[in-house]
Amino acid sequence: MSLQMSVEVERKFLFNAETLKTLEEIGAKCVGQHQFHDQYFDTPQFHLTLSDMWLRKRKGCWELKCPMAAVSSSGETVGEPCKAAALCTHYKEIINLSQIQLRVKEVVKDVHERRDTETSSLQQDESWFSKMNLVCFAEFTTTRQTFTLEEEGVQIDLDQADFGYCVGEVEVLLPEIEDMQSALGKIETTAEKLGLTGDHRVEGKMNVYLKRHHPEHYSKLLSKHIL
């Protein structure tokens, strides 16, 4: 991803051996397979994730996913009447480190203010997150096969996490202001082409990881309807 800030709209799905055949039949192009290790960070009190903010380090780079205000650039509430909306998630993705630090600081304000008197620099090096009392709460490696469906402008990822969970996702990346409805339409069309039938959201890797490894954290997120 090259944009400093973008909106990721995606629908997760469960896949099997047939999915590869279907991808070929519908004209999806395989653009490669790669592996990455993710480390997710939060305070011990879960300030970030309980605000639905997901801070991670992937391939040496910081990334933050956070909720998007449900308001369009014209000030109207973004309507999401189609079935696709209920099955999709959309998050703002930030990869600029200063912007990430600002967002994190807003949420972890209490902790940060207490520690501000102790140190005042160190924003560029790796100690900024320990200063904000952030610790790694989840880490896993994913092997990802990526496809594109050019006529729909979507990316399709097939992920295998090293803790034994496989999940696919149909994804559209938008510059921030662009139309959510068109992204949902592209995802819905692709889902139909792939023959996806489920009418419930499919769990992501993090859901399954936390349920297995950190059930208390998982329950807190569930009770706030974040997962």
Integer CA distances (angstroms), 189 to 132, 193, 196, in order: 43, 6, 10
For residue 206, state whether it binds ligand V4E (rule: CB under 6 A): yes
Q: Segment contacting ligand V4E (CB under 6 A): 74-82, 100-108, 177-185, 198-206? A: 198-206
- Binding marks (x or -) toward ligand V4E, 122..161, rule CB under 6 A? --------------------x-------------------
Among 90, 186, 205, 217, binds ligand V4E (CB under 6 A): 205
Question: Using CB atoms, what's the residue nearest to ligand V4E?
Answer: 204
Angle at 40 between CA 14 and CA 154, to 5 degrees: 40
95/115 with CB nearer ligand V4E = 95
* Binding residue (CB under 6 A) for ligand V4E from 64, 204, 208, 218: 204
The site string for ligand V4E over 88-107 (x = CB under 6 A, - otherwise) reads -x-x----------------
- Residue 115's SS3 state is helix
Query: Among the residues of the chain, which ranges form H helices?
Result: 17-25, 83-87, 97-107, 109-116, 128-131, 180-194, 205-213, 215-223
- Per-residue tokens: 117: 């008197």
Structure tokens at 124: 């560029």
Measure the CA–CA gap between 202 and 80, rounded to whole angstroms.
19
- Under the criterion CB under 6 A, does residue 201 sit at the interface with ligand V4E? yes
Q: Which helix (H) or strand (E) holds 175?
A: none
Give the x/- contact pattern for ligand V4E in 46-75, rule: CB under 6 A: --------x----------x----------
Q: Is 168 in the site for ligand V4E (CB under 6 A)?
A: no
Decide whether 46 or 113 has the Cβ nearer to ligand V4E: 46
Residue 222 and residue 227: Cα distance in Å, rounded? 5
Query: Which residues, 6+ apart, have CB-to-CB distance to 180 below 8 Å?
Result: 7, 9, 72, 78, 80, 90, 174
Least distance to ligand V4E, CB of residue 10, Å: 6
Query: Tokens 């992937």, residue?
Result: 58
Q: Given the rule CB under 6 A, which residues bind ligand V4E? A: 12, 54, 65, 89, 91, 142, 169, 201, 204-206, 226-227
